[in-house]
Amino acid sequence: MDADSYKVVVATTANGNGAGGGSSVVAAYQINVGPDFQIPVDGWSSSPWDDGTFNGGNGGAESLRLWSQANYGEDLIIGPRGGEMYYWDTSAGTGTRAIPLKNVPNNGTIALSQTSTGIANNSYAFITSIDAAVGAKIRVGAVVTCTTANRIPAGTTVLSISDNLTVVNISANPINFTGSQSATFNFDSDPISVTKDSKAITVFDPTLEFNYMVGQHVTIAGATTVAGITDTVINTRHKIATVDSASNTFTVDVAGAEPASSTTSGGGASVTVQYELSAEVPVVQDSLLVSDASRFTFAFGCNAFGDATETQNPLLLRWSDQENAYDWRPRSTNQAGDLQLSQGTEIVTAIQSRQEILVFTDSALYSLQYVGAPVVWGSQLVGSNLSVASSKAVAYANGVAYWMGKEKFYRYDGTVQPLRCDVRKHVFDDLDKGQYEQVFAGTLEEYHEIWWFYCDSQRVAPNKYVVYNYLEDIWYVGTMGRSAWYDSPINDFPLAATDTYNLVEHENGNDNGQGATLEAIDSFITSGQFGIESGTSFTFIDKVVPDISFVGSTAGSPSVEMSLLASSEPGSADNNPASEGGVNEGQVALAVDTVDEYTDQLDVRVRGRQMAIKVQSTSLGTKWQLGTPRLNMRPDGRRGS
């Protein structure tokens, strides 16, 4: 409705006008889920004035929401593209949400003023019967006050602590006590001090429970107004600006406050601090990972260290200190650092390989290797003038990185090489180039395969796939809707997500189990076209040895259909090897025979310049594997053509 209010629509209709809700209403704002697919942005506000044409010029696109994630021990570091990083602690359980990495607390909240109930001796300067846990936190020199007025002289301090930390010797005798009266005593109340005309506040922490450093964050709570700097300004999250370890104090600058009206101490006896583990954690990034070498946490396309505006730099990468995902402030005593890449306009993605981290920009590939202090991580340009389809289009298998680019496929095994691809034209003619960001890759190492899923021009969710078998150097394509893929290094079977919100196991069973009842899988494979003398002569086939195995089938009598597809002229048939679901237009199935486990040979009569073999099964419980079919074929004349 305006900058400070909004409207939500609920199911119940109000029976009148009014206001209410009480004073305990809280709102928990969640992360925007973002769009499910890439949305072109054209027209007004899509680009600067006179930069391209209206509705279809150089307008941009609203990117779909993509997340990166990496294991940090048993915990998880995650982050959406263009957002900050979050930390999920597995010990907290799945019922507890991840919190921003910059806000991960260091242990519990610390009370700066220690409070204990004890008995004061007005004949001798000591207080006894205090809690030993409190006594352990009281320092010599701490100022002592009493919640009951006029019981402790002003300026009284701690001289020593004795008797197993239960007796505190103080600098002045207690007054106005009769007998063994107990009272509540505060040690080091008013831990906040300010200087006149300054906006900085200095906080005294006598507990020595945390070795805080510049750049780390702390949240102050429970303080009262001090010399005109209001409690609402003090009681919030601050970045530590300076540290004086000798005096156990740190200083923070309070934004938006009026300067202190006097030099004084205050805050009261209820001030607490919650220290965080973080120091200069990037607050915006496009992707992240945790390295195998020494467990550095990386952020790619992030804000620079020390940039007060926290502006995203798309070619900047930063890493945390070794074995410390929270400390990103470079120091001589740690290994945090950063690198600015030069080729490209943005970092698209990064993956961990065997001995290096591969960083992909939109036009180059860099190798990061750990070299130790002071450089820590060195970069080397290993490929340029290349492309990568999306941040999820890279897969790593058998010591080699494979990825889909824009119009071709690549591999990197120490050098960048384009992949020979038999189905390249089919894939990139079919792919919706406005949805490149939805391309994602996965591995199926049991069968030596790299899978890429993509959207065709008819869908806004991935529904097609292309597979590269790197052991046999062959390609195949097909139709299957998937939105995520995870191979099976731990699980028994690969897991995938469908665009209908199901998780499915692949390679488990012979049928489609996504619904309430099992359904047969329409499985088929169609070969490329072949002929005698490259199709310049007609070919006649009269015998086929199918070489099909049905090992693993659960059907009583498993079988498949084998078809011979023939065409008389190269242009009369669709030469696409993916005849998905039926015979290509202009291509005729001149032989269709059933093959079962007892079929040794098929007798056929088929003529054509070019041929293709198709094997298909549509029955429940059928598992089949095609070996090497043999055909008896010879040149033939044009009679009857």
Where are the extended beta strands (E) located within 21-134? 39-40, 61-62, 67-72, 75-80, 86-88, 99-100, 110-111, 114-121, 126-128
Cα separation, 387 vs 384, whole angstroms: 9
Phi, psi dihedral angles at 435 (to 5 degrees): -120, 35
Cα angle for residues 191, 192, 197 (degrees, 5° grid): 155
Dihedral sign, CA of 76, 82, 83, 84?
A: positive
CB atoms within 10 A of CB 543: 13
Q: Of 255, 249, 265, which is closest to residue 212 (Cα–Cα)?
A: 249
What's the CATH number for 523-636? 2.60.120
Residue at token pair 């692949």: 506
Q: Is 154 left (phi over 0), alpha (psi -120 to 50) or beta?
A: beta
Q: Tell me whether strands 249-253 and 200-204 are parallel, antiparallel or unpaired.
A: antiparallel
CATH topology of domain 192-279: Elongation Factor Tu (Ef-tu); domain 3 (2.40.30)
The reported pTM is 0.80
- Residues 6 or more apart in contact with residue 232 via CB below 8 angstroms: none
Phi, psi dihedral angles at 7 (to 5 degrees): -125, 135
State the pLDDT at residue 55: 46
State the pLDDT at residue 451: 98
State the pLDDT at residue 624: 94
CB atoms within 10 A of CB 5: 6
Q: Which two tokens stand for residue 411?
A: 């591999």
State the pLDDT at residue 25: 87
Q: Which two tokens stand for residue 532?
A: 């005698």
Strands, sheet with 474-479, edge to edge from the N-terminal-most edge strand: 440-444, 449-454, 464-469, 474-479
CA dihedral 295, 299, 305, 311 (to 10 degrees): -170
- Residues in the chain, pLDDT under 70: 40-61, 179-180, 208-210, 534-535, 570-587, 638-641
Indicate the length of the chain as a whole number.
641
Domain residue ranges of the chain, discontinuous segments joined by +: 114-187, 192-279, 523-636
* Residues in a beta bridge with 301: none
Q: Which two tokens stand for residue 189?
A: 């109340």
**Identity (one letter) of the amino acid at 154?**
A
State the pLDDT at residue 515: 79
State the pLDDT at residue 209: 67
DSSP state letters, 330-346: --TTS--EEEE--SSSS
- Residues 6 or more apart in contact with residue 177 via CB below 8 angstroms: 120, 121, 122, 151, 183
Residue at token pair 């890429």: 452
